[in-house]
Amino acid sequence: MQVIENLKVKEKVYIEKLKNGLIVMIIPKKGIQKKYIIWGTHYGSNDSKFIVPGEEQVTEVPKGVAHFLEHKMFEQENGRNSLDVLSSLGVNANAFTTNTHTAYLYEATENFYEALDEFMDYVQHPYFTDENVEKEKGIIGQEIMMYDDYPEWKVYLNALEAMYHSHPVKLDITGTIETISHIDKEILYKCYNTFYNPSNMCLVVCGDFEPEEILKEIEKRLIEKKPEGEIKRIYEKEEETIVNPNVECKMEVSIPLFTLGIKCIPPKQKEKVKTHIAIEILLNMIVGESSKLYQDLYKSGVILNMPSFEYEFTDDYAHILVSGASREPKKFFDEFNQEVQSYIENGINEEDFARIKKMIYGEYVKEYNDVANISRMFLNDFMRGINSFDYLEEIASLDIDYAKQILVDNFKKDKMLFSVVKND
């Protein structure tokens, strides 16, 4: 078993690749009552066009299958719903689908191993029928319509559609009522058998465990499966330009909502962590709570609270999103743009850079206080080809010159767009 230790947070991760290809990560937390487990497959809403290992022809499935599959996994042949079974054991169970992966999880303070029986059973035993698939279409259809009525979701999705020409990241994870109408049990089984192979999955567990013991408990609950070859995922070639610099939508909102998007260059593998940290520092400097821009806009009533921001990236796409509410959204966009240009032309203040860098390092360290945060972080980073400890190591070596280069390369005016939802 490989052991990676980080002395900064005094944590270790034990990593084992099993014979069936499954990666197991164990992060022991001595004396902690809570236990958390998350089992993810590298299969998300982006993966609707692919070549199954051992086949030559391209398989294309309707948009929304990954999310649909996640919903159906809890229903068992014996008539039980595994989510209900886990809840009856007193554990907090859930699942989610992203653009890049699907995950099943639970958190427990007791009955962990009883829950593990059910958890590992349902993830490995799908049960799809014509009847239960048709029933689920109605349930997910209602979910799709509900999200269509959420201004916060609409402003976000409109930004992605204005950013990407063809990449599936622009599409709603749930699909549409039209696309899910074409899903049947054969499609679900094909996608399950392709993407839910252990060699395409990672299981992370965190709590008061002895690594060798919890590994044995996991192994004895695994059904026998041979590892597959690589799944070839096919995406249309994405243009570097954005689709539309401005998009507006009318909905019932008390204050206009906005999402400012910036289409970025996907970072190289060795630069992923460092680029992510640099962009996080830059966004905090430009429009974070202690920034001059935020203070000025807040005092003048242009914005009512601090915008949220994120940097999302994979091997084939990357973007920045800044979202919030503003009485004058156009003014926010213009001021943000001016601030970026000012940083490019005048440079980055050393004191501000050092202060924000220290703050972000503190936030990274805090993540290790909670078993849920640790587990989800390690799974999410694994899906991007990163070890979470790398953030703690890379931040120390990140300097102003590197941040300035990231600013110039990624915060380009012609790659910036603005999505607004307002009443009129």
Active site residues: 70
Cα gap 244→262, rounded to integer Å? 12
Residue type, 180: I
Cα gap 259→269, rounded to integer Å? 28
Cα within 13 Å of Cα(229), Cβ side = 8
Cα gap 395→278, rounded to integer Å? 8
Measured at the alpha carbon of residue 383, what is the angle toward residues 284 and 202, in degrees to the nearest 5?
A: 135
Structure tokens at 106: 């639970």
Cβ atoms within 10 Å, residue 304: 12
Smallest Cα–Cα separation from 62: which of 191, 175, 194?
175
Residue type, 296: D
Q: Are 348 and 285 in contact (CB under 8 A)?
A: yes
Q: Are 321 and 159 in contact (CB under 8 A)?
A: yes
- Here the contacts of 124-130 (C-beta below 8 Å, separation 24 or greater) are 124/222, 124/223, 125/76, 125/77, 126/69, 126/72, 126/73, 126/188, 126/189, 126/192, 126/196, 127/72, 127/75, 127/76, 127/77, 128/72, 128/185, 128/188, 128/189, 129/185, 130/184, 130/185
Q: Are 155 and 249 in contact (CB under 8 A)?
A: yes
Residue type, 216: K
Radius of gyration of the chain (CA): 23
The two beta strands, 2-6 and 11-17, are antiparallel
* CA distances (Å), origin 23, targets 38, 39, 192, 203, 420: 12, 10, 18, 6, 42
- Show Cβ contacts of residue 65 under 8 Å, excluding neighbours closer than 6 positions: 48, 175, 183, 187, 188, 191
